[in-house]
Amino acid sequence: MWLKKQIPNIITLLNLLCGCIATIFAVKGALELAALFVIFGIGFDFFDGFAARILKVQSELGLQLDSLADMVTSGLVPGVVMFQLLARAYNLPLDNVLTYQVYDEDFITGYNEFIPLIGLLITLASAYRLAKFNIDTRQTTSFIGLPTPANALLILSLPLIIRYQTHPWMSDVILNQWFLIGLTMVSCYLLNAEIGLFALKFKTWGFAENKVRYIFLLLTIVLFVLLQFMAIPCVILLYVLMSLIFKEKDVAQNN
């Protein structure tokens, strides 16, 4: 019986382990490998809750442990990845970050070494979102604000697009400092916005009560076939738009 109760927690700890490994890769600048381990971690994040429901061993400990694991995998890692992308956008070697200098010919240049730290706002916003989630009784069957795993996938898709999509303009857009700063602000907002979003949890398999989920999954498959990694930000946008358009009864609204 004790082992049965610990199975979901073990899966959650595998999520945390993947997040720790992803953090190491992100700090070293191996962003594609960081993305890979975040994807693994998010997979474990899905299955721990699934296992808890199947085994009927949901617990307060599991809830807290899940949030702590998500804080690393889906909170710390995307913040560090955005930090790295901003450093690349400003052509800053990591040794130069936080080494303040002022140049007489361009006073503003002296502050560029601090700009990559803006990326860490994603980590702070993720922590705030996870803390709110744990005490918000409205988010039992749906979400209010973008879930941290979805936001992590949005941010981690950027280095994958740069690496594996062959269109040069994509890299130019993604590594534009204003695009990255703007995306960071949008990310922080979506994490904590009072926007009701449907959850991909099926209580039954009927089409009528799950039509939004089935349509979303079908469109997701089509987008991945057509766009590859570029599909990830498109899927996140689709997720938000469909939640706003359909406004299912089980989607939490502002109340």
Please give the model's pTM, rounded to 2 decimal places.
0.86
- Residue 253 pLDDT > 70: no
Which residue in the block uniquely carries the two structure tokens 């941010």?
155
Q: Which CATH architecture has domain 2-98+106-246?
A: Up-down Bundle (1.20)
Q: Locate 84 and state its tokens.
A: 């790295």
- Domain boundaries defined on the chain: 2-98+106-246
Residue type (1 letter), 181? I
Length of the chain: 255
Please state, in angstroms and rounded to a whole number, the distance separating the CA atoms of residues 249 and 255.
13
Q: What is the pLDDT of residue 254?
A: 40
- Residue 202 pLDDT > 90: no
Q: Locate 128 and state its tokens.
A: 């705030």
Q: Where are the alpha helices (DSSP H) in the chain?
A: 2-28, 31-55, 60-70, 77-89, 121-135, 148-164, 168-174, 177-192, 207-227, 231-246
Picking from 25, 58, 241, 237, the residue whose alpha carbon sits closest to that of residue 151 is 237
DSSP string for residues in 84-109:
HHHHHHTT--GGGTT----BTTBGGG
Q: What is the pLDDT of residue 63?
A: 84
Determine the average pLDDT of the residues in 16-30. Answer: 96
CB within 8 Å of 222: residues ≥ 6 apart = none
Q: What is the pLDDT of residue 165?
A: 83
Which residue in the block uniquely carries the two structure tokens 């971690």?
41
Q: Who wins on pLDDT, 221 or 134?
A: 221
Q: Who wins on pLDDT, 169 or 158?
A: 158
Distances (CA, A) of 50 to 44, 46, 237: 10, 6, 25
- Residue 77 pLDDT > 90: yes
Band (201; pLDDT cuts 50, 70, 90): confident
Q: What is the pLDDT of residue 204?
A: 65
- Residue 107 pLDDT > 50: no
Distances (CA, A) of 101 to 84, 96, 112: 20, 10, 9
Q: Which of 29-33, 180-184, 242-246 has the lowest mean pLDDT?
A: 242-246
Please state, in angstroms and rounded to a whole number, the distance separating the CA atoms of residues 97 and 73.
24
Of the CA atoms within 13 Å of residue 6, those in its CB half-sphere come to 4
Residue type (1 letter), 227? L
Chain centre distance of CA 217? 18
Please state, in angstroms and rounded to a whole number, the distance separating the CA atoms of residues 131 and 114.
27
Determine the average pLDDT of the residues in 203-221. Answer: 83
Picking from 123, 120, 37, 116, the residue whose alpha carbon sits closest to that of residue 84 is 116
